[in-house]
Amino acid sequence: MARKRKKTIITCAITGAIHTPTMSEALPFTAEDIADQAIEAAKAGASILHLHARNPENGSVSIAPDHFKAFLPVIKQATDAVVNVSTGGSLVNTMEERIAPAKWASPEMCSLNMGSMNFSFHPIADRIKEFRYDWEEAYIRNSEGYIFRNTFADIRFVANELGGTHGVKFEHECYDVGHLYNLKFCMDAGLFKAPVFIQFIFGILGGIGPDIDNLIFMKRTADRLFGDDYQWSVLGAGGAQMPFATTASQMGGNLRVGLEDSLMIARGQLAKSNAEQVTKIRRIVEDLGCEVATPDEAREMLYLKG
């Protein structure tokens, strides 16, 4: 008898903190556009929506709970997708500021970045400089070498603040193989309960590069460190998005797409929306014989609080 294949969870990361509205008209930054695109992505097959907020005036990244309040209830009302609130913030925020939206929303999931790193936008730095953020200086400094700070103390702080009372499940963002060891260290210290949900990230300058060999390496390392105590998903930045998402689903894992991670739908072609990327990867996943998980199936697979 043929072995039953695990379903694939599609996460869609709607707007993020990196890209700017000058780079693509499709990038949503008003509350209405973020909500509309999130709802459309859920209809297209995303069972998890990873969300950042933006300042509606100019599209700059915002960690103001009020900006999240303007779209989260609308999304929750219109879809049954799992809401995942970012704690990544921007490169200039304190950890307290970065978790404020999640503390307010108490969502089913939150991101948690598993190590400090260079997080360079070097390949797109010139494009970003064209865009006038209030704190554009931070971006310019970043392109010359700014640090995305996620110390062990920061990680413990987020775990205690959001994992405890709020019972949030974390999307553990692992940008390199060392971050897997950081996660293992934290689990051994009792910060996170198994099974943890790991997002393997490829192609951010400062993290591991977008080579499929590296995906195999990350997966093997995670198998060795966590055994059955983890679930995993894959995010490829930029041009690595679709190839890595496809490979992940073929390997029995889950995947993330969305305009946060790539603005393109194909080489040289901007995506019209988040839903367009979800529709494309869903078709590929299904054409290759896998099934896409519904939000409730994702909740069950990831043991979410529901």
Catalog residues that contact Zn ion under the rule CB under 5 A.
16, 86, 88
Determine if 37 is a binding residue for ligand KMH (CB under 6 A). Answer: no
CA gap 158, 150 in Å, rounded: 10
Determine if 88 is a binding residue for ligand KMH (CB under 6 A). Answer: yes
- The footprint of ligand KMH on residues 177-236 (CB under 6 A) is 201, 204
Answer whether 236's CB lies under 8 Å from 245's CB.
yes
Q: Which is nearer to ligand KMH, 16 or 210 (CB)?
A: 16
Q: Which is nearer to Zn ion, 16 or 207 (CB)?
A: 16
Out of 47, 87, 93, 254, the residue judged to bind ligand KMH by CB under 6 A: 87
Determine if 27 is a binding residue for ligand KMH (CB under 6 A). Answer: no
Q: Which is nearer to ligand KMH, 40 or 260 (CB)?
A: 260
Pairing of strands 10-13, 109-113: unpaired
- Pick what 102 binds: Zn ion, ligand KMH, none; C-beta below 5 to 8 Å, kind-dependent: none
Give the binding range for ligand KMH (CB under 6 A) out of 1-9, 84-92, 133-141, 208-216.
84-92
Number of residues near ligand KMH (by CB under 6 A)? 11
CA gap 7, 254 in Å, rounded: 8
Answer whether 174's CB lies under 8 Å from 200's CB.
yes
Out of 33, 154, 173, 176, the residue judged to bind ligand KMH by CB under 6 A: 173
- Pick what 173 binds: ligand KMH, Zn ion, none; C-beta below 5 to 8 Å, kind-dependent: ligand KMH
Q: Which is nearer to ligand KMH, 99 or 290 (CB)?
A: 99
Q: Which is nearer to ligand KMH, 89 or 295 (CB)?
A: 89
Q: Which is nearer to ligand KMH, 204 or 271 (CB)?
A: 204
- Pick what 62 binds: ligand KMH, Zn ion, none; C-beta below 5 to 8 Å, kind-dependent: none
Binding site for ligand KMH (CB under 6 A): 13, 16, 86-88, 111, 113, 173, 201, 204, 260
